[in-house]
Amino acid sequence: MKNVQLARRGILKASLAAAGLAALPPRVFAAPSGIAPEHRYLVEKAKAELARLSGQLWRTDKVGMIDFSLPSAQPRLFILNMEEGSVKSYLVAHGRGSDPEHDGFLKYFSADVGSLATSRGAYLTMDWYHGKYGASMRLGGLDPDNATALDRAIVVHEAWYSNPDMIAKWGKLGRSEGCFAVSEGLNQEMLYHLGGGRLIFADKL
């Protein structure tokens, strides 16, 4: 187990070093007073996770928070700018194994290989590559509940089944194989805001 952890740590450091990243000084976070009341719980949770994982993150200016207590028909991926005190929201799909009835609600988390489910927990954003769905961003799991993220190839990518027209037609998004799939045309924005050593935290918040 120790060797696996060391290997993962080496992969994370190597990928970030290749991108020319370095540890940054502590940030002064904006007070949540300018945040809409319905989003303030996200800011408080983000602050708690940043404090918990301070030694494992390279950048703390922006955080991705995914609230899987919400259905897929609602924006539930939130990009928090911790310095400006602003929030942007996006649609994101969950895994097939987390919603076997395909009713648009995540019911189960799993980190098992082959589960096709979404895993809960904190993720470190890594390097990007060009894959089946275009530009995609690798994720490293930082918690026991998502420690298999690299083995499962859990990434952020865009997909047609996460487009808004799926909601207009079916009342829900399609499902991924455990990845965080956003609407087509958005992944460059995800890479810009969340790429390279930042935190994405996913759970039922």
Query: pLDDT tens digits, residue range 85-123?
Result: 999 999 999 999 999 999 999 999 999 999 999 999 999
Confidence (pLDDT) at 11:
45
Residues 6 or more apart whose CB falls under 8 angstroms from that of 89 comprise: 75, 76, 77, 78, 79
Confidence (pLDDT) at 16:
42
**Domain limits for position 199:** 2-203
Query: pLDDT tens digits, residue range 45-56?
Result: 999 999 999 899
pLDDT average, residue stretch 68-74: 98
Confidence (pLDDT) at 28:
41
Confidence (pLDDT) at 54:
87
End-to-end CA distance of the chain: 30
Contact 148, 113 (CB under 8 A): yes
How many domains does the structure of the chain reveal?
A: 1
CATH number at residue 80: 2.40.440.10
